[in-house]
Chains A and B, each alone.
Chain A
Amino acid sequence: SQQGEEDPQALSIQEGENATMNCSYKTSINNLQWYRQNSGRGLVHLILIRSNEREKHSGRLRVTLDTSKKSSSLLITASRAADTASYFCATDAYPGNTPLVFGKGTRLSVIA
């Protein structure tokens, strides 16, 4: 499976600032999802955006999707120290039970 790219690979910001992470992928998709992973832990599902959607919000999270550029962004507003984690985008090609292709991830550090 071909992985997507995420940038930046690492991001360090002060508490209260906004954090923006970008993801690019290579093939046509059905859904794009963002996950968070704390160090040494499992994945936490954050948000799913479908290929026919352009923007989605959930609390302090805002996700955009540009299928023409095969890219997505995740914005975390008013960041907190607890947001420190790795963030991954993941795509799937069909609805239902198909494997996800993960991006390389962005390691976010929020400094209190």
Chain B
Amino acid sequence: GAVVSQHPSWVICKSGTSVKIECRSLDFQATTMFWYRQFPKQSLMLMATSNEGSKATYEQGVEKDKFLINHASLTLSTLTVTSAHPEDSSFYICSTGDLYSNQPQHFGDGTRLSIL
């Protein structure tokens, strides 16, 4: 079964709306989660690293005030796209892994965000 649950899977909304995406680890405590973005026909690019109980670390070029990340518990990280615009339309996907295991990370199923 799924180890990482991501919701919603698809969002269509008007420009200016804020959208929250949730990523939950189901089987273990995730001190760190990663958020990636994928534009059509492109690869996944790391946006930010979400750390439980502390501020997220953002990659260069990613606006921290635009993409708010909250990791308030060991099982939940949220990404909020604030005042979304059409250029924010993309596929957002989270991942996490067990810190003490050298096993592949687990990915959520992704969220397709379409801003009209």
Residues of A within 8 A of B (CB): 1, 3, 31, 33, 40-43, 45, 48, 88, 90, 95-97, 99-105, 107
Q: A100 to B106: give the CA distance in the assembly, Å.
A: 11
> Could you pull out 5 A-B pairs where Cβ atoms are within 8 angstroms?
A41-B110, A42-B108, A97-B98, A100-B95, A105-B43
> Which chain B residue shows the least CB distance to A33?
B104
The 3 closest A-B CB pairs, nearest first, are A42-B109, A95-B102, A97-B97
> Which chain A residue shows the least CB distance to B57?
A99
What total of A-B pairs shows CB separation below 8 Å? 62
Q: CB within 8 Å of A: which of B57-116? A: 59, 91, 93, 95-105, 107-110, 112
**Do A45 and B104 form a contact, CB below 8 Å, given A1-B59, A103-B43?**
yes
Residues of B within 8 A of A (CB): 30-32, 34, 36, 41-46, 49, 59, 91, 93, 95-105, 107-110, 112
A-chain residues with CB within 8 Å of residue B30 when the two chains form the complex = 97
**Do A104 and B42 form a contact, CB below 8 Å, given A96-B102, A97-B31?**
yes
Contact in complex: B49, A99 (CB < 8 Å): yes
Contact in complex: A43, B34 (CB < 8 Å): no
Contact in complex: A42, B107 (CB < 8 Å): yes
B-chain residues with CB within 8 Å of residue A42 when the two chains form the complex = 93, 107-110
A-chain residues with CB within 8 Å of residue B95 when the two chains form the complex = 100
Contact in complex: A96, B110 (CB < 8 Å): no
Contact in complex: A41, B102 (CB < 8 Å): no
Contact in complex: B93, A43 (CB < 8 Å): yes
With A42-B109, A97-B97, A104-B42 given, can you name 11 additional A-B contacts, CB distance below 8 Å?
A3-B45, A43-B110, A96-B102, A97-B98, A97-B105, A99-B34, A100-B105, A102-B44, A103-B43, A105-B42, A105-B43
